Amino acid sequence: MRWELEQLGKLCEEQPQIADEALAALWTHQPEVWRRVVIGAYLDQQINLSKAAELLGLTRLELQRQFLQQGIPVRILSEDEVQAEVEVVRHRPQAV
């Protein structure tokens, strides 16, 4: 399995479109794998809670509640992250 992941990493560098399509197919057919990848990225501090929620199609508050119910630690937002959240809300199209 490790050699496959190494080769996928190489493919990402050499032909990113093909790798993106392959991963998109995986995420579509195995949504739980996508969820675990997103949560792993959150836990490794590669993405914040808002980005994780966006990637999973949830609101930040919905994902925070799920994390708390599942015992997943929720990080407190930094000042920069709070400002970024405000900007997202300001620029979000209004629902009709």
Position 30 confidence tier, pLDDT thresholds 50, 70, 90: very high
Q: For 39-53, give one letter per residue: b (16+ CB within 10 A) or e.
A: beebeeeebbbbbbb
Distance of CA 39 to the CA centre of its chain: 7
Reduced to 3 states, what is the DSSP secondary structure of residue 94?
A: coil
Position 95 confidence tier, pLDDT thresholds 50, 70, 90: low
pLDDT tens, residue by residue, 7-22: 989 999 999 999 899 8
